């Protein structure tokens, strides 16, 4: 009886290990398919959102693009469904193999028992006892191996999601979070800064050298695609770069704790978010810690000239609620700017084309306002408008990921290069603008 127990025990362990190992076999293929599924679901999901998005309706109607997009969506959906079916097939194929193994194993046990009963007078009680023991052993060992296979699969998914995003806009944050608390006491030193987007062959930043002193106002000018926004994102620690290429008072930027950077910085991005919730959210997100400071919020809203329904901060804006009021492009941009004004005591202010949607008079007012408010803090302004540059401590002209010229307005006018040409071309606008500024000042005095 003892020998028979050992034989059944070994038999059960070997079977469970084999059955479990089968779970490891399709892992690679399943991971590949899951990645493919995620990529494809983003594509057809995006097209679906594009078609049903309320703000897209007018353009789709005018261009009569709805059927065209629907067709594209269908094709993407079919592709996605194919991957889904492939995944189901793999699962059922391996399940079938495991079920067949179980059938053969159970049949073998019955046959062995039948012989044992015939030769050794085994009772039904022995049979029940041993088959139960065999089943429990097999099932426990199998589940152990199955869980290991699941863990391996899940871990690989986790690594994929954390390592790279499925969208092309990838924020490759440094893997190890820095511990230093962010503080700017003297200067930001950028030397030989290079950055290439993972899905691109050309360098978006190609050897940038730049010194920004604490309290300086730096204006970055340059054609579309010259690398201005990329440089801003690198300075915010959103992209990983060589550790010695951006130093804050001699300390590599990736040694700082990200949250401590974000606490001190106020940014208005070129592609700022329109929060389709309430005015309160749109302003308050600029400084979550002071979200409840309604008095400050009212002041900021008056400053950016946003009117509220019945003085109510909960006024809904956007498209997604029946009571919401829609805003114009310029009003949304004013709300984005309000997030800067709402942030208390930032040490660095960054504006990436933050006023492009404003009417000229409001733009001049805000630029002057920003420059006055930011007099004591380090300010970086990306703009296509040369007029703003005149008041900067440093003007940087970028082209194809490189810095073409840098210096003060007077220095750059003297060398008669790209800035000079930009200035000469846009000069008339700024003479106009100076007049607008004078008018604004006059109207304030009156």
| Helix residue ranges per DSSP H, 121-257 | 124-163, 228-235
CB of 224 to ligand ATP, least distance (A): 3
CA dihedral 59, 61, 67, 70 (to 10 degrees): 50
196 or 260, CB closer to ligand ATP? 196
Cβ distance to Mg ion smaller for residue 34 or 270: 270
For the bound state, the minimum distance from the C-beta of residue 222 to ligand ATP, rounded and expressed in Å, comes to 5
Residue 230 contact among Mg ion, ligand ATP, none, beta carbon within 5 to 8 Å by kind: ligand ATP
State how far the Cα of 413 lies from the Cα of 410, in Å rounded to an integer.
Answer: 5
Contacts of 386 (CB under 8 A, 6+ apart): 221, 419, 422, 423, 426, 430
Is 229 an interacting residue with respect to Mg ion (CB under 5 A)?
yes
Residue entry with tokens 């001190």:
264
CB of 218 to ligand ATP, least distance (A): 15
Residue 86, C-beta contacts closer than 8 angstroms, at least 6 positions apart:
33
Q: Which does 186 bind (CB under 5 to 8 A by kind): ligand ATP, Mg ion, none?
A: none
Per-residue binding letters, 257-286, with Mg ion (x by CB under 5 A): -------------x----------------
Q: What is the DSSP string of 378-398?
A: EEEEE-S-HHHHTT-SEEEEE
Candidate ranges 64-72, 222-230, 272-280, 308-316; the one touching Mg ion (CB under 5 A):
222-230
Closer to ligand ATP by CB, 199 or 443: give it.
Answer: 199
Give the angle 229-430-442 at the CA atoms, nearest 5°.
Answer: 115
Closest distance to ligand ATP from the beta carbon of 233 (Å): 8
Size of the site for Mg ion (CB under 5 A): 2
And the tokens for 158?
Answer: 């986790």
Rounded to a whole number of angstroms, the minimum distance from the CB of residue 198 to ligand ATP is 7
Could you tell which of Mg ion, ligand ATP, none binds residue 237, using a CB distance below 5 to 8 A set by kind? none
Task: Output the smallest distance, CB 199 to ligand ATP, in A.
Answer: 5
State phi, psi for 403 to the nearest 5 degrees. -90, 120
Q: Is 437 in the site for Mg ion (CB under 5 A)?
A: no
Task: Indicate which of Mg ion, ligand ATP, none lies near residue 169 (CB less than 5 to 8 Å, by partner kind).
Answer: ligand ATP
Return the sign of the alpha-carbon dihedral for residues 31, 32, 35, 38.
Answer: negative
* Structure tokens belonging to residue 42: 């983003």
Q: For 127, phi and psi rounded to 5 degrees?
A: -60, -50
Tell me how far, at minimum, the Cβ of 389 lies from ligand ATP, in Å: 15
Distance separating alpha carbons of residues 442 and 446, to the nearest angstrom? 6
| Alpha-helical regions (H) of 273-325 | 279-284, 294-303
226 binding partner (options Mg ion, ligand ATP, none; Cβ < 5 to 8 Å by kind): ligand ATP
The pair of structure tokens assigned to 23 is 């779970």
Is the four-CA dihedral 213, 214, 217, 223 of positive or negative sign?
A: positive
Partner interacting with residue 204 (select from ligand ATP, Mg ion, none; CB below 5-8 Å by kind): ligand ATP
Shortest spacing between CB 273 and ligand ATP, in angstroms: 17
CB-nearer residue toward ligand ATP: 384 or 390: 384
Give whichever of 168 and 446 is closer to ligand ATP, judged by the CB atom. Answer: 168
Q: Residue 220 burial (CB < 10 Å; 0-12/13-18/19+)?
A: buried
Query: Looking at 173-181, 196-204, 227-235, 257-265, which segment touches Mg ion (CB under 5 A)?
Result: 227-235
Nearest approach, Cβ of 353 to ligand ATP (angstroms)? Answer: 6
Distances (CA, A) of 240 to 25, 176, 198, 208, 236: 36, 11, 11, 15, 10
For ligand ATP, give the closer residue by CB, 271 or 322.
Answer: 271
400 is a contact residue toward Mg ion (CB under 5 A): no
CB atoms within 10 A of CB 79: 16
The minimum distance between CB 398 and ligand ATP, in angstroms, equals 6
Q: Which is nearer to Mg ion, 23 or 363 (CB)?
A: 363
Residue 179 interaction partner, one of Mg ion, ligand ATP, none, beta carbon < 5-8 Å per kind:
none
Query: Hey, how many other C-beta atoms are within 10 angstroms of the C-beta on 428?
Result: 9
Q: Closer CB to Mg ion, residue 153 or residue 352? A: 352
Residue-wise DSSP of 63-88: TT-HHHHHHHHHHHHHHHHHHHHHHH
Closer residue to Mg ion in complex, CB, 20/237: 237
- Which stretch, 8-16, 221-229, 291-299, 311-319, contacts Mg ion (CB under 5 A)? 221-229
The answer to whether the CB of 397 falls within 8 A of the CB of 412 is: yes
Taking the complex as a whole, the smallest distance from the CB of residue 393 to Mg ion amounts, in Å, to: 22
Binding residues for ligand ATP, rule: CB under 6 A, are: 168-169, 197, 199-200, 204, 222, 224-230, 270
Residues within the interface to Mg ion (CB under 5 A): 229, 270
């Amino acid at each position: 009886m003892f020998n028979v127990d050992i034989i059944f025990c070994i038999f059960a362990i070997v079977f469970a290990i084999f059955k479990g190992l089968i779970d490891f076999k399709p892992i690679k293929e399943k991971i590949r398919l899951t990645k493919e599924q995620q990529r494809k679901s983003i594509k057809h999901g995006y097209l679906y959102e594009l078609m049903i998005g309320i703000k897209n309706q007018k353009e789709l109607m005018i261009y009569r693009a709805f059927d065209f997009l629907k067709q594209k969506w269908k094709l993407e959906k079919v592709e996605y469904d194919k991957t889904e079916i492939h995944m189901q097939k793999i699962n059922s194929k391996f399940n079938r193999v495991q079920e067949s193994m179980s059938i053969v194993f159970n049949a073998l046990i019955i046959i062995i028992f039948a012989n044992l009963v015939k030769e050794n007078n085994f009772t039904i009680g022995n049979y029940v006892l041993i088959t139960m023991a065999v089943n429990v052993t097999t099932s426990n060992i199998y589940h152990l191996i199955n869980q290991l296979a699941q863990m391996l699969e899940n871990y690989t998914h986790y690594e994929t999601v954390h390592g790279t995003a499925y969208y092309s806009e990838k924020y490759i944050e440094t893997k190890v979070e820095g511990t230093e608390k962010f503080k700017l006491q003297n200067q930001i030193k950028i030397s030989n800064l290079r950055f290439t987007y993972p899905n691109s062959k050309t360098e978006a930043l190609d050897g940038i050298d730049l010194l920004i002193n604490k309290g300086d106002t730096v204006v970055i000018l340059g054609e579309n695609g010259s690398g201005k926004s990329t440089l801003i994102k690198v300075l915010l620690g959103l992209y990983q770069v060589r550790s010695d290429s951006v130093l804050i008072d001699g300390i590599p930027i990736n040694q700082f704790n990200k949250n401590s950077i974000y606490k001190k910085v106020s940014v208005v991005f070129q592609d700022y978010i329109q929060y389709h919730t309430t005015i309160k959210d749109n302003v308050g997100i600029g400084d979550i810690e002071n979200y409840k400071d309604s008095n400050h919020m009212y002041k900021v809203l008056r400053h950016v000239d946003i009117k509220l329904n019945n003085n109510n901060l909960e006024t809904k804006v956007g498209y997604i609620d029946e009571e919401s009021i829609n805003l114009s492009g310029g009003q949304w941009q004013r709300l984005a700017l309000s997030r800067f004004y709402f942030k208390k005591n930032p040490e660095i202010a960054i504006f990436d084309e933050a006023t492009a949607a404003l009417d000229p008079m409001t733009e001049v007012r805000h630029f002057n306002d920003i420059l006055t408010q930011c007099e004591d803090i380090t300010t970086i302004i990306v703009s296509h408008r040369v007029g703003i540059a005149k008041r900067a401590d440093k003007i940087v002209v970028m082209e194809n990921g490189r810095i073409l010229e840098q210096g003060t307005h007077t220095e750059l006018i003297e060398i008669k290069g790209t800035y000079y040409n930009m200035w000469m071309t846009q000069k008339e606008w700024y003479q106009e603008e100076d007049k607008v500024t004078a008018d604004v000042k006059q109207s304030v005095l009156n």
